[in-house]
Homo-oligomer: A and B are copies of this chain.
Amino acid sequence: MSEPSKVRVLSIDDHPLVREGLAALINDQTDMRIVGQGSTGHEAIKLFRELRPDVALMDVRLPDMSGIDAMITILSEFPEARVIVVTSSEGDVEMQRALEGGAKGYMLKSMPPNEVLQAIRKVHAGKKAIPPEIAAHLANHMSDETLTDREVEILQQVAEGNRNRDIADRLFISEGTVKVHIKHIMEKLGANDRTQAITIAVRRGIIRL
């Protein structure tokens, strides 16, 4: 026990190359090491239970579920878990959900390696690691203009090219109601028409194509 115990890191990402990169980077450090890797949300939960890592790096996009949902599940079981959410460069909504869901850090895959390592060290030390540009983005763009579940549902239908009449039929509501929802959606997003609503929603990460 004379050796200083290293920070035990769990890495979840569906891209093997990213996992390799993270593993190589982290295992090169004297103060941390990778104790487990996975590529799905269910693996993440299973591995967390088994390994109880000090820090978990969680990709947002996983084959079976959102990494954020996996994180929330883990946090409900281990409220002390320190999770850093990793993303390629998605929209604002992901950040908000991640932070509201209890992420201790938010990290971009385009960040230089030393910043990645610093983020891990900060989070392990009990601090939060949010890149300043992300924090600023959140403060500005995100207020209370979040869409309701129903509105997102409608928006998704719109993106699929359905007419209001068709959307009404599919969701078992009247066409008038669909109109009202779309009106609200456009107001909240600041869109001129339904087409721009889709564009803005995709950019913000509200819907995925």
Contact = CB atoms under 8 A, between A and B. Distances in A.
Interface of A: 14-25, 88, 109-113, 116, 158-163, 191-199, 202-203, 209
Given A20-B25, A22-B21, A14 B110 contact: yes
A107 to B, nearest CB: 10
Dominant SS at the A interface? helix
B20 A16 contact: no
A17 to B, nearest CB: 4
Given A17-B25, A20-B20, A21-B20, A199 B110 contact: no
Given A88-B88, A199-B198, A20 B161 contact: no
B158 A112 contact: no
A120 to B, nearest CB: 13
A42 B32 CA distance: 35
Contacts of A202: 202, 209
A4 B205 CA distance: 49
Contacts of A18: 15, 17-18, 21, 109
Contacts of A15: 18, 88, 109-110
Contacts of A196: 159-161
Contacts of A109: 15, 17-18
Contacts of A20: 20-22, 24-25, 113
Given A17-B21, A18-B21, A23-B24, 12 more contacts: A16-B110, A17-B18, A17-B113, A18-B18, A20-B113, A21-B21, A21-B23, A159-B198, A161-B191, A161-B195, A163-B193, A195-B195
